[in-house]
Amino acid sequence: MDGSIELLQPALHYGGHFLAPFLIAAVIWRVEWKRAVLVMVAANLIDLDHLLADPIFDPGRCSVGFHLLHGWEAALAYALMLLIPKWWTRAFGLGALWHLCVDAGDCLAMTAL
């Protein structure tokens, strides 16, 4: 990878995990947006499944499909959460799905660069 991409990828990754939920929550939950941001950011706790891997962090490993809470079964469960009427359940499901999208972007960047 060239140097500028190596700096840009972590900014996009962590911005996607911690900044994008502000925009998403403000658009979808206009009244509850502050609480929705907290719930969406809390969905990043799915990264606790990294503690089950050896090594815990491998910069060359694609999280999607490797970790327990980053697989298609988990994605299906997160998608089903969108069908539950409670706003906070939907916010968590959307946050977890967004988390997987951000991680998938990293996987694409690893293979493309």
Number of domains in the chain: 1
- Residues 40-89 have pLDDT tens digits of 999 999 999 999 999 998 888 999 999 999 999 999 999 999 999 999 99
CB count in 10 Å sphere of residue 101: 13
**Cβ pair 63, 50 in contact under 8 A:** yes
Among candidate residues 13, 86, 72, the one with its CA nearest the CA of residue 44: 13
Predicted local distance difference test score (pLDDT) of residue 24 = 97
Range of the domain at 61: 3-112
pTM attached to this predicted model: 0.92
Q: DSSP state, 1?
A: -
- Give yes or no for residue 5 having a pLDDT over 80: no
3-state secondary structure of 66: coil
